[in-house]
């Protein structure tokens, strides 16, 4: 189904250009507000944002839209995406909104919607809201216009919830932690939570100015974190992204640890303690085959989904599983959150680090990843994957990888790109098959 506004994770784009204009944001508020006007109670929406300059504009436009259809607005200011999801549910709001473009540069922004249960909306709900955006909104009568107010204790509520996920019998005393908040939404709450648990902190990316979010800091630019961990001889480094639903860890030697290794650690610890629902983990098709093999050796099943944390969450809910995530660092821990939560996931990793007494470089190397290579090929139109030559090249590559590797080829949901990923035990073969497929796609497109 072709979408005009919504993509794979809400609405996103460059600010002051469609679909990320004040006018469209107001219409989104009207449409989403009208969609959730159910029952006779006083309706409420909770709005959070990251630290982008454009957040003021989008927040104000959404507020105008929601209040115009009769919905009260609660503004919580800069807060992580998982905090907005948590507060939406705990405050019994009718919906929640996060204004953020996640790991994108400051010039972009986005709108993510959460239902009253704290989960992202279904495709069907987004499609209906999208239809309503271009329609005539049912404006409230003059006496029924909504009110807006800010609350001051939202950060404290989320910090308490995040700390509650950390084992009560443990503390972070003596642990030297470098925390990089990407100059984003968690710049206050993440350092505060870690400090209150006893960690010795070195902070990066905690001075947002509206235009420096994700700028050479955060989970998508971990070089500064790596250097600081080595420089300060820290025990571990934690990098969040702009809205703090993703994390990347750096060990005590300055080496990057991706989401697959983190899922392996968290899941095996949960299985050990009898806390792994269904004895299974949910991950996407991009997670390394090494993760699947490690879990299999421990009797844990890996369920794979399409790329996107919403698909991971859907599979977790359907199967009753409590641990899932993505290689990119979106870790979903259903016992504590309804969406990816970088801080909560980091706390589970640090709990294991403290309890084990091992250095991070040893504890976090749960498996040896198989060589994996991903390349993107831009195409100008048509359907290059449907060509006979491309199909034959893919079939030949699959035969060569045999049972010792995997091939994942998919069309990007946001750009005219074909993503080609291969992994296997033979690194040279992996590189060769990816290059051959990319070349065939390039010629076909």
| Residues forming the active site | 102
What is the distance between the alpha carbons of residues 86 and 318, in angstroms, rounded to a whole number? 20
CA distances from 203 to 125, 143, 191, 229, 377 (A): 40, 48, 8, 11, 38
Element spanning 159, H or E? helix 154-164
Strand runs labelled E in 153-305: 176-180, 200-204, 236-240, 247-250, 256-257, 280-284, 301-305
Place of tokens 């998508």: 220
Cβ contacts of 146 within 8 Å, gap of 6 or more: 43, 66, 67, 68, 69, 70, 71, 72, 73, 140
CB atoms within 10 A of CB 176: 17
3-state secondary structure 125-158: HHHHHHHHHCCCCCCCCHHHCCCEEECCCHHHHH
What is the distance between the alpha carbons of residues 329 and 341, in angstroms, rounded to a whole number? 9
What is the distance between the alpha carbons of residues 184 and 99, in angstroms, rounded to a whole number? 12
What is the distance between the alpha carbons of residues 180 and 194, in angstroms, rounded to a whole number? 12
Maximum C-alpha span of the chain: 70
* C-alpha 105, offset from chain centre: 16
3-state secondary structure 239-255: EECCCCCCEEEECCCCC
What is the distance between the alpha carbons of residues 360 and 337, in angstroms, rounded to a whole number? 25
């Amino acid at each position: 189904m072709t979408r005009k506004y919504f993509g794979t994770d809400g609405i996103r784009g460059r600010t002051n250009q469609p679909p990320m204009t004040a006018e469209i944001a107001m219409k989104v508020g009207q449409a989403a507000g009208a969609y959730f006007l159910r029952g006779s109670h006083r309706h409420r929406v909770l709005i959070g944002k990251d630290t982008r300059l454009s957040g003021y504009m989008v927040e104000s436009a959404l507020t105008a839209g929601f209040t115009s259809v009769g919905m009260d607005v609660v503004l919580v200011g800069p807060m992580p995406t998982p905090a907005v999801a948590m507060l939406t549910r705990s405050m019994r709001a009718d919906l929640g909104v996060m204004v953020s473009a996640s790991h994108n540069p400051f010039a972009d922004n986005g709108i993510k919607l959460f239902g009253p249960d704290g989960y992202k909306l279904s495709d069907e709900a987004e499609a209906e809201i999208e239809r309503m955006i271009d329609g005539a909104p049912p404006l409230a009568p003059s006496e029924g216009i909504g009110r807006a107010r800010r609350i001051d204790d939202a950060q404290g509520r989320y910090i308490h919830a995040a700390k509650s996920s950390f084992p009560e019998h443990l503390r972070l005393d003596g642990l030297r932690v470098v925390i990089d908040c990407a100059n984003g939404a968690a710049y206050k709450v993440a350092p505060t939570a870690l400090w209150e648990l006893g960690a010795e902190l070195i902070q990066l990316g905690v001075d947002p100015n509206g235009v420096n979010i994700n700028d050479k800091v955060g989970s998508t630019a971990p070089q500064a974190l790596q250097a600081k961990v080595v420089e300060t001889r820290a025990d571990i480094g934690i990098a969040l992204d702009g809205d703090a639903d993703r994390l990347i860890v750096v060990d005590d030697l300055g080496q990057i640890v991706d989401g697959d290794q983190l899922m392996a650690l968290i899941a095996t610890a949960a299985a050990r303690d009898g806390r792994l629902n269904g004895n299974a983990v949910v991950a996407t098709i991009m997670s390394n085959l090494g993760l699947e093999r490690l879990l299999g050796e421990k009797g844990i099943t890996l369920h794979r989904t399409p790329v996107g944390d919403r698909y991971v969450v859907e599979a977790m809910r359907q199967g009753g599983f409590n641990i899932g995530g993505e290689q990119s660092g979106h870790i979903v821990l259903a016992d504590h959150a309804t969406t990816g939560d970088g801080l909560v996931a980091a706390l589970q990793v640090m709990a294991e680090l403290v309890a084990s007494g091992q250095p991070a470089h040893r504890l976090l190397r749960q498996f040896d990843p198989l060589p994996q290579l991903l390349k993107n090929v831009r195409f100008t139109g048509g359907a290059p994957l449907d060509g006979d030559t491309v199909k034959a090249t893919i079939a030949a590559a699959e035969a060569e990888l045999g049972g010792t590797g995997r091939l994942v080829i998919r069309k990007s949901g946001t750009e005219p790109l074909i993503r080609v990923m291969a992994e296997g035990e033979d690194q040279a073969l992996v590189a060769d098959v990816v290059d051959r497929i990319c070349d065939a796609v390039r010629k076909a497109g």
